[in-house]
Structure 1
Amino acid sequence: MALASIRPAAVAGQFYPRDERVLRTQLAEMLSTAVAFESAPAPKAIIVPHAGYMYSGPVAASAYALLAPLRERIRRVVMLGPTHRVAVRGFSLPAAQRFATPLGEVPVARGDWEALQARDDVLVDDRPHALEHCLEVQLPFLQVCLERFEIVPVLVGDASPEATASLIERLWGGPETLILISSDLSHYLSYREAQWSDRAAVDQVLELRPGLDHEQACGATPINGLLLAARKHDLQAHLLDLRNSGDTAGDRSRVVGYTSIAFCEAEPPSHARH
């Protein structure tokens, strides 16, 4: 397969501003006003939502604001999200080697791209990525929050939590690597129903209990994979924000739920006073 060099921005002008200056201004405003529910140390992994910025941008910003101290440390972002338009068996990597946004181009980590193809459940195909928004909407946040970085963009289709966890484990890396899971929560429930469903889903994530279904989160499969990996690595989950589109954009008759959660290495216990 010939390598398509650049995957162009597909949802600029829809999910986020197409104009670079307007986009930078909006990102700066969301990041400067982000207030996390719970303070968290430097994250190894984050779950962030992927709707239009007017809906979920402020929720996502609560996670991205934590990256400021890691601006120069994080060089590689492993991105997993669900496919919304094209069915995928297993996992899909793009053929494209760069992803474009109004803020510039982000390179794909070529070594990881090549190594993952040794798995029989990974296919290289630009089609699932061409119009998919779940990873693209994260890139402008990463571009303003990090110095220089590469991405490993993986769309997750029909895969088991165990297979997803093994793929995440293969890409775990060290302090230079951030694992990013892109997922919204419930879809089109009433405001009160969504609050109940989303709180239950988030509590399950905070307890590192896999088993989320796709009614609870569209990215349930990558989330469940992350939870298995987080348990193995003794990470602690910190709730940063939990809201829905009725909180951010008004209409409360049918809403979509959003959360940001950070997964951090457990802090060593402080010595008790004798």
Structure 2
Amino acid sequence: MTIRAPAVAGRFYQASPLGLRKQIQQWFAEPCDAELMPRALIVPHAGYMFSGKVAASAFRWLKKAHSPYRKVILIGPSHHYAFDGCALPADQYFATPLGEVKIDLQGVEKLSHLNDIELSDHIHELEHCLEVQLPFLQSCLSAFTLLPILTSRIAPSRLAQIIDPLWQDDTLLVISSDLSHYHPYADAQDIDHRTLKVIETFDPSLTPQQACGSTGINTLLLLAKQRGYFLTQLEYKNSGDTEAGDKERVVGYVSYLVSTTTQTGPE
């Protein structure tokens, strides 16, 4: 049995299981105003002191829904390595302070035969963008297998072809992405709000300058539009809105919920 050890526990989030559970439970205690079953989520991937609350605003819908999901496809951008296609791990488990998550070995086997897919524990070893989502998922789902996909040079249309047959009723799709990086506060807000308008029109044209996980978001937009799904923005902030950040060089964060029905207000 091979296990990927946590790479950013104690830096991006608490290494203490007790402290980590307590922090996530506090965020999950905030209310959700409607009943929507998430089919997919877009969530940020910075340190929890910066973006954890924004990520939790999406994951608590999953927690509330008591979802039937037994599989999770988790997609994020490779921050350390550039390569053609996508990378899957050969490891059998990913570990966090909350325990071990079993890799979807059947999914890995199915995709590993494609020219676009590389099996590489090395590419996954230091990557934070997928790891930071795992404690949230472990706090929402009683048992699940994980298909962790790191993207590099691949067209969203091609990734959508790869993902589409795997995104079944028992499977949640999670896209890990931050927004703009290192602009002054007001400039970042302007850039990000224009980016959000692009996302909300299901326009799969985002660039890495607008969102570091643009490939994953564009892929989701293609699939969600094709399936007639709805998109609900939950929370937008940037690092300058937190006690840990300043307003000179900020990073933007947003959370979205994708569902088969839309939220309706009182008549």
Q: TM-score, normalised by structure 2?
A: 0.95
1:210 aligns with 2:207: no
1:154 aligned counterpart, secondary structure: strand
Which residue identity does 2:20 align to in structure 1?
L
> Superposition pairs for residues 63-74 of structure 1, below 5 Å?
63-74=58-69
Partners of 1:42 and 1:208 in 2: how far apart?
20
Contact conserved, 1:236 with 1:266, CA < 8 A, in 2? yes
CA apart distance, 1:71: 3.3
Contact conserved, 1:72 with 1:148, CA < 8 A, in 2? no
Partners of 1:267 and 1:138 in 2: how far apart?
25
Aligned to 1:179: 173
* Runs of at least 5 residues in structure 2 that lack an aligned partner in the other structure: none
Aligned to 2:78: 83
Aligned to 1:42: 37
Which residue identity does 2:238 align to in structure 1?
N
**Aligned partner (choices 10, 13, 18) of residue 10 of structure 2:** 13
Aligned to 1:148: 143
Contact conserved, 2:50 with 2:245, CA < 8 A, in 1? no
2:55 aligned counterpart, secondary structure: helix
1:216 aligned counterpart, secondary structure: coil
1:29 aligns with 2:23: no
Which residue identity does 2:68 align to in structure 1?
R
1:56 aligns with 2:56: no
Q: Where do 4+ consecutive residues of structure 1 move more than 6 Å?
A: none
CA apart distance, 1:268: 11
For each residue in 1:14-60, what CA deviation from the matched residue of structure 2 results, as whole angstroms up to 9, or x when unmatched? 00011111111111112223x56x74611101100000000000000
Aligned to 1:166: 161
Contact conserved, 2:72 with 2:171, CA < 8 A, in 1? yes
Contact conserved, 1:47 with 1:183, CA < 8 A, in 2? yes
Which residue identity does 2:145 align to in structure 1?
E
Partners of 2:152 and 2:11 in 1: how far apart?
24
1:142 aligned counterpart, secondary structure: helix
Aligned to 2:248: 253
Aligned to 1:132: 127
Contact conserved, 1:5 with 1:97, CA < 8 A, in 2? yes
Contact conserved, 1:234 with 1:266, CA < 8 A, in 2? no
Contact conserved, 2:86 with 2:152, CA < 8 A, in 1? yes
1:43 aligned counterpart, secondary structure: coil
CA apart distance, 1:88: 2.4
Partners of 2:107 and 2:136 in 1: how far apart?
22
Partners of 1:60 and 1:267 in 2: how far apart?
20
CA apart distance, 1:112: 0.6
Partners of 1:16 and 1:268 in 2: how far apart?
32
**Aligned partner (choices 224, 233, 253) of residue 227 of structure 2:** 233
* Runs of at least 5 residues in structure 1 that lack an aligned partner in the other structure: none
Which residue identity does 2:260 align to in structure 1?
E
Contact conserved, 2:36 with 2:261, CA < 8 A, in 1? no
**Aligned partner (choices 189, 193, 215) of residue 199 of structure 1:** 193
CA apart distance, 1:204: 1.0
Contact conserved, 1:76 with 1:150, CA < 8 A, in 2? yes
Contact conserved, 1:207 with 1:237, CA < 8 A, in 2? no
For each residue in 1:181-207, what CA deviation from the matched residue of structure 2 results, as whole angstroms up to 9, or x when unmatched? 000000001100111111111111111
Which residue identity does 2:166 align to in structure 1?
L
Q: TM-score, normalised by structure 1?
A: 0.92
